[in-house]
């Protein structure tokens, strides 16, 4: 298992006011002038917080099995009256 933190991982991070928070990773970005990597974590439904990478610790990786492909068909019915 790699040490990377990927989208969908369940992580814990240190927040200054609230202490330790936990949530699901929904994205990441890099600030190019400083080179810092920020992880966007959804802690509550609809609440996304950014955490600086060294303060984030992965708790577990959530792996979703491949879902069966949905068979999509289109049926066209035509009637011609003369």
* In contact, 12 and 20? CB cutoff 8 Å: yes
DSSP bridge pairs for 28: 39
Structure tokens at 15: 């927040």
* In contact, 73 and 66? CB cutoff 8 Å: no
pLDDT digit string (tens) for 4-62? 777 888 888 877 777 888 888 888 888 888 778 888 888 888 888 888 777 777 666 66
Residue 8 is predicted with a pLDDT of 81
Helix (H) or strand (E) holding 30, with range, is strand 19-31
Class for the domain spanning 10-60:
mainly beta
In the sheet with 10-15, reading across from the earlier edge strand, the strands are 47-52, 36-44, 19-31, 10-15, 56-60
Residue spans per domain, the chain: 10-60
Q: Can you tell me which residue has the tokens 């068909």?
A: 73
């Amino acid at each position: 298992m790699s040490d990377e933190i990927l989208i969908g991982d369940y992580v814990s991070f240190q927040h200054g006011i609230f202490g330790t928070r936990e949530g699901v990773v929904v994205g990441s970005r890099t600030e190019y002038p400083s080179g810092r990597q920020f992880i966007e974590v959804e802690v509550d439904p609809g609440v996304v917080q950014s955490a600086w990478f060294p303060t984030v610790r992965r708790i577990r990786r959530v792996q979703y099995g491949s879902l069966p492909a949905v068979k999509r068909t289109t049926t066209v019915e035509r009637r011609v009256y003369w």
